[in-house]
Structures are given as structure tokens and as C-alpha cells.
Amino acid sequence: MRKSLLTSVDSIFSKISESMALFLPVDDPTGRANYTRWEEGKKWSEALNTVKSPKDFFFPQVEDLMKFKVSGKNIELKNTAKIDEDFVVFGVRPCDVRSFDVLDNVFLSEPRDGYYAARRKHGIIVSVACSKPSETCFCHTFGIDPAGEYGDVTVWKGENELFWKANTEKGEKVMELISEFTESCDDNAADDIKAKIEKIAEKLPLRNLSAENFGGDKTDEYFDRPEWKSLSESCLGCGTCTFVCPTCQCYDIKDFNTGKDVIRFRCWDSCMYSEFTQMSAGQPRLTQLERFRQRFMHKLVYYPANYDGMFSCVGCGRCLKSCPIHMNIVKVMKTLGGKADE
């Protein structure tokens, strides 16, 4: 483990950015944090979470896949995706790092998604422990430690110092890069910070929310529950929850004719939309109840059925903050079988 002065963080960012692109949470003019490419003058945000999750770096909201031009019987293809540049994403919270495991299961299973795989290969994740977990956090429900070691490098933030620990070979390269700003310290140097984080986490209102009653063998138990009607009736189908969610992976592929060539691009989609997966034969989920149920059954039942019990939720709390009618996975879990302190 190594440590650095908090006052040297801009020098560290500058050093990293000399070798590769560096992205970190930065407050926008409204005070909301989002990932921004670092440059001189950009300040690391103190916000717990960014509005959009860092999955955007590996599974972009919109990405051009290729261009092609048709001339008679000839088709000219051009790869337009930028997927071969190294980059660092700094400030990723433990819940968001876990979300990459959820996405990996989907995009790195055969047939592998080459665009996603290339970005995972070139991306370096520097996680930062959650110094002050929020009342909307429930990562413990899914076995995530807000003070734990995640990513290629883990950072713990003290009052005047940062403590760094490399977890992978890619992490070791980052630590070598910034070695002039850090010095060796005891492996237990961050224990006091970890203990403070755990004390805060123990007092969170959703600390005892349980997922033990959900899982891959619960389809028959939950699919026809009458509670879905009351839970879904106020849903607007706006899709906000899916767009802020770090683990949602639905997308659509479309072609756009520019007049000179055709651009094929991929963009996020949402199971909450009435046109999602619509085919010539119609929409397989005709009602908002069916679409609402699909989202939460996927998170709590279908996904764990396919991936050895792993849930497709990491307890980041973004949907709790963003839903305009305050309907979210916590309310669904409590209503259908979760346990939590009221």
C-alpha cells in the first residue's frame, strides 16, 4: 500500500493524463457530478455518485459501429469505433465496479461483444471507497463492501491523505506511473477509514434490506403475484431508471442514411418502453404491468437464474433518487418479500 498527500492529487491526475486519457467525476454548473475528461482546472467532485454510471465507458449510450457504402453489388465497410486507446476511469465506487461484473457476464459470454471486450481490455479502473454512504445506498444487500478493495486500484480518502492499493497488473502500472507522488506505508494504514465507513453503513435505513427471498428459482413464486398491479399502476414508463442504472444492458441497433453512406450505430434501449423488442407480429409485453414486471423480475430472478445466483442490481441507489414517482427496486423487494427496517 502507498499513500499520497491530498494536495498532490492534481499533480497525480496530470501525470496520468500525460500517458492516457483520464476521466473522473466533476461537478457541472448545476452541482451534479458526471464523468469528464480531466484537464488543468478540473476538480474531482466530492459527490457520492455520478448521475450517469461509468458503464458508459465500456457500453456507451450511443456508439457508431461502422459505416458502409453500397455501390451496385459492392459494399464498402469502414470500422468507425474507437476501441484501441488506453484510458483510466478514476473515482469509481465499489457498487459501480461490481456492475462491470454484471455486464461482463452478458457481453463477454459467447458470442463475445468485440466492442465491449476491447474497451474492457484498454480501460483501467481506479475505485474510491465511499467515505460517506448515502441513505439511498443498499450495496450490502448484494454483498458489496463500500470500503472494500475493487477495481485495478483501490483508493481510500482520508482528511489529508489518499491511500492507494494496486489489485491487478494494470493497477501496478498506474502506481508505477505516479510513484514520485506516493510513498510506501503500512498495509493497515487505511483501517481507521474503513472502520468509519462501516459505522456509517451500519446506520443506513436500508442496511437490513434482504435479497434472500429472491433468486433464480423464484419465477413461479413471483410471476403472477397480485402486487404487480398496484406496484406498476403509477409507473410512467419514462425509462429513467434504466438509463441511470449501472447494470442495464438493453440496446437497439439502427442504420442512418447520411445521403453519402450509411452509419450503423448502437444506442441504449429500455424494457420499460412500449416499443421495446416490438416486431412485425407485435409487442410481446402489451401492458405497463408486464413491462414493469419484466424489469424487476430480470434484476431479481431471471439474471441470477442464468449467472450462478448473481443479482443484476448493485444497490447504488440511483433509481431511488431519479424516479419521478418514487417507485424503485427497494419498494418492489419490500412488497414482494424483502426484509428491511421501516
Of 48, 300, 297, nearest to 157 by C-alpha is: 48
AA letter at 147? A
Of 243, 235, 238, 206, nearest to 50 by C-alpha is: 243
One digit per residue, the tens of pLDDT, for the chain of length 342 reads 999 999 999 999 999 999 999 999 999 999 899 999 999 999 999 999 999 999 999 999 999 998 988 888 888 888 877 788 999 999 999 999 999 999 999 999 999 999 999 999 999 999 999 999 999 999 999 999 999 999 999 999 999 999 999 999 999 999 999 999 999 999 999 999 999 999 999 999 999 999 999 999 999 999 999 999 999 999 998 999 999 999 999 999 999 998 888 999 999 998 888 777 766 666 677 788 999 999 999 999 999 999 999 999 999 999 999 999 999 999 999 999 854 444
Residue 59 C-alpha from the chain's centroid = 10
Determine the length of the chain: 342
Percent composition of the chain: helix, strand, coil (DSSP 3-state, to 5) = 35, 20, 45
With 0.85 as the threshold, say if the pTM is over it.
yes
Which residues have C-beta within 8 Å of that of residue 230, sequence separation ≥ 6? none
Consecutive H or E run containing 187: none
Of 28, 45, 52, nearest to 322 by C-alpha is: 52
Residue 65, judged by CB atoms within 10 A of its CB (0-12, 13-18, 19+), counts as middle
- The SS3 assignment for 144 reads coil
Of 325, 116, 342, nearest to 235 by C-alpha is: 325
Number of continuous H segments (helices) and E segments (strands) in the chain: 12, 12
